[in-house]
A and B are shown apart, each in its own frame.
Chain A
């Protein structure tokens, strides 16, 4: 009965879960691309395939977001929640965009990562993606029972600090190395782009915490 009366709300809820699924797939393909090609750069055989897959799921996430926005303009949810959902999606959506941009950067600029930074880069990617996983758990917590939101936010915040630490460490190594100055700038840009993932996840996490607090009297 309620589902029938609040059909648009139910649609939005379903679409939000679909969006999260598309996000996970984008993230999975991004990881596959980086893992298989981190050592070999653009020469990796499956790199183009993973880029295409990443792009495919990033576009799918965009389409779902568009559909949710249309429902919002069709007056689903109360105005306050409408604004919150749209702001949340806009904030999350910046992350798949970074995944895609990072891969394009490697592909277009033909970046090959030097061996001295691979371990740290792997760690940076691992912690950044852990931030994304925790962020997704937090979104689900907001959509279901509002528990653990604060503890997840604290974990993401800690991880984000670790990422900053690795980002600085890698950049120091890059500029202490004797590689070509142009390559140094390319690598710096790549590391900064990957570093943005945890920054954005941290921003989303803080937004979710505010949205959760707003729903307490």
Chain B
């Protein structure tokens, strides 16, 4: 159990940070109480992890052969990389940090599944782009339906509110299904856990992060999305959820934060407004490039530090 602490910490921080992407809008705008949002998100994250989390776990454990010590090293490296990038105020993806850590171990083992790594990297590029294209399409389609319904002020209010709750729950399901691999896949690869218990422990640790520490992040990160009108916010959350669900089916853990930015960009393109500043995009790009590299280097450094031996002279 002690060996799992690194992974559980990673899951906890993932839950605390990423729940804001799916329920931030509803909570920050007081459409939904934090407690209700946290309970819904936790329940759906666990459900997602248990029902659809296996594909991602299989992909990550297939990146390299790994033993228990290396699993712990890679998850600690990922955790430290996330902390380091956060301190630098760069947007960080836990998925990228985890893959970076695993690749670091793969370099040590001289065995990296380049095919699997290529698939993962293509999906990383595809996440924001996919969410952006999806947001463009969904905005037009849902906008057409919404206008046809010609709802009055109160009905429109109720419909948007219900849709945000349903979409947020679906987003939490997709988040759990997609990101549980980040938390416990290495331990499945090391033979410490089977897939079901990995999904259960991973899902539960993400849920713990949501329940205990997601409130401030939800309230602050959510405010950035609230500047969008409720309909646009709904489209952003829906495009994030569908994007993450698609990558869950492909079996690659991706970043929900990057999907949100893609969605916001997509809505901005449809509305002809600049929703994301160039500086924010630059930060995302820097985070995108450095997170896996930093995590990989940290995994290498920790591995060498652990295996340093004292050789007495003479």
Give B277-309 interface residues, CB cut-off 8 Å to A: none
A207 to B146, CA, bound (A): 22
Any chain A CB within 8 A of the CB of B126?
no
Chain A residue, CB-CB nearest to B158: A6
The DSSP consensus for interface residues of chain A is: helix
* Count of A-B residue pairs with CB < 8 Å: 53
Any chain A CB within 8 A of the CB of B313?
no
Which of A6, A13, A81, A215 has most chain B Cβ within 10 Å?
A215
Please, what's the 1-or-0 string for B195-235, where 1 marks a CB less than 8 Å from any CB in chain A?
00000000000000000000000000000001001110000
- Of A2, A78, A144, A211, the residue contacting B230 (CB under 8 A) is A78
Please, what's the 1-or-0 string for A1-39, where 1 marks a CB less than 8 Å from any CB in chain B?
010001001001100000000000000000000000000
Give B217-262 interface residues, CB cut-off 8 Å to A: 226, 229-231
- Check B146 against A80 for contact (C-beta < 8 Å): no
- Check A75 against B154 for contact (C-beta < 8 Å): no
- Check A211 against B153 for contact (C-beta < 8 Å): yes
- Of A77, A78, A215, the residue contacting B151 (CB under 8 A) is A215
- Check B152 against A144 for contact (C-beta < 8 Å): yes
A64 to B229, CA, bound (A): 28
B residues within 8 A CB of A85? 153
Please, what's the 1-or-0 string for B23-47, where 1 marks a CB less than 8 Å from any CB in chain A?
0000001110000000000000000
Which of B154, B158, B160, B161 has most chain A Cβ within 10 Å?
B154
Any chain B CB within 8 A of the CB of A44?
no
B residues within 8 A CB of A12? 154
- Of A78, A79, A145, the residue contacting B152 (CB under 8 A) is A145
Chain B residue, CB-CB nearest to A144: B152
A75 to B27, CA, bound (A): 12
A9 to B157, CA, bound (A): 9
- Of A2, A79, A142, A217, the residue contacting B153 (CB under 8 A) is A142
- Check B154 against A143 for contact (C-beta < 8 Å): yes
Chain B residue, CB-CB nearest to A140: B152
- Check B231 against A146 for contact (C-beta < 8 Å): no
Chain A residue, CB-CB nearest to B235: A217
A112 to B206, CA, bound (A): 78
A residues within 8 A CB of B30? 75, 79
A142 to B153, CA, bound (A): 7
A12 to B143, CA, bound (A): 27
B residues within 8 A CB of A13? 154
B residues within 8 A CB of A80? 229-230
A residues within 8 A CB of B157? 9, 77-78, 81
**B141 to nearest A CB, angstroms?**
10
16 interchain pairs (CB within 8 A)? A2-B158, A9-B157, A9-B158, A12-B154, A75-B30, A78-B31, A79-B226, A80-B230, A81-B154, A142-B152, A142-B153, A143-B154, A144-B152, A214-B229, A215-B156, A217-B146
- A residues lining the B interface (CB < 8 Å): 2, 6, 9, 12-13, 75, 77-81, 84-85, 142-147, 211, 214-217
Which 9 A-B residue pairings sit nearest by Cβ, starting from the closest? A217-B143, A81-B157, A79-B29, A217-B146, A75-B30, A78-B31, A77-B157, A13-B154, A6-B158
